[in-house]
Amino acid sequence: MARKCLIEKANRDPKYKTRKYNRCKLCGRRRAYYRKFQTCRICFRMLSLKGEIPGVKKASW
């Protein structure tokens, strides 16, 4: 779980646009972020297994 101060810092507008970084909307994690879904890999897996992300299902072959 990310610290609250870092989540707040990420929500502010940076002085320069290159300093902006993405965080998961659910837990605030910075690494392993999927831009398309705006979540980290852990939250993405949790949501997809519950069926809350349309069009995503576990692969099996």
- What's the rounded Cα separation, in Å, for the pair 26 and 40? 8
Q: In the chain, what are the domain boundaries?
A: 4-50
* Domain range 4-50, CATH class: few secondary structures
- 5 appears as a binding residue in the annotation: no
C-alpha closest to that of 57 among 14, 15, 19, 49: 49
Total H helices, total E strands in the chain: 2, 2
Quick one: pLDDT at residue 47?
Answer: 93
Model confidence at 1, pLDDT cuts 50, 70, 90, reads low
- 40 appears as a binding residue in the annotation: yes
- pTM value is 0.77
